[in-house]
Amino acid sequence: MRHTAFRQRMADEFGRVRAEMLAQDHVFSSLGGRTVDQALEAGLSTKEVWQAVCEAFEVPAERR
C-alpha cells in the first residue's frame, strides 16, 4: 500500500485531524514502542502499520 493510500485510510477511519494526532502521538507496543510516523520512518511497511492500528483500535474487518 502506498503512503498516500495509508494516510487516506487513516483519515477515513478516524477523521483527518484525529488521524494526524494518532500518527504523531499514539505509541503502539506492536510497532516496537513507536508511533505510526516513527514506524514508517524506521522502514516498517504501511501494511504492517495499518494492521497494528486496526488491531489496537478494533477496526472492523470490512474496513481493514
Q: Model confidence over 2-29: pLDDT tens digits?
A: 999 999 999 999 999 999 999 999 999 9
In terms of residue numbers, what domain contains 34? Answer: 1-58
How many C-beta atoms lie closer than 10 Å to residue 51's C-beta?
A: 15
Residue 63 lies in a domain: no
| Interval 37-63: pLDDT, tens | 999 999 999 999 999 999 999 999 988
Phi, psi of 44, rounded to the nearest 5 degrees: -65, 150
Number of domain units in the chain? 1
DSSP-assigned letters across all residues of the chain: --HHHHHHHHHHHH-HHHHHHHHHH--BGGGTSB-HHHHHHTT--HHHHHHHHHHHTT--GGG-
Residue 49 lies in a domain: yes
Does this model's pTM top 0.85? My answer is yes
Give CA–CA dist 50/14, Å, rounded.
Answer: 13
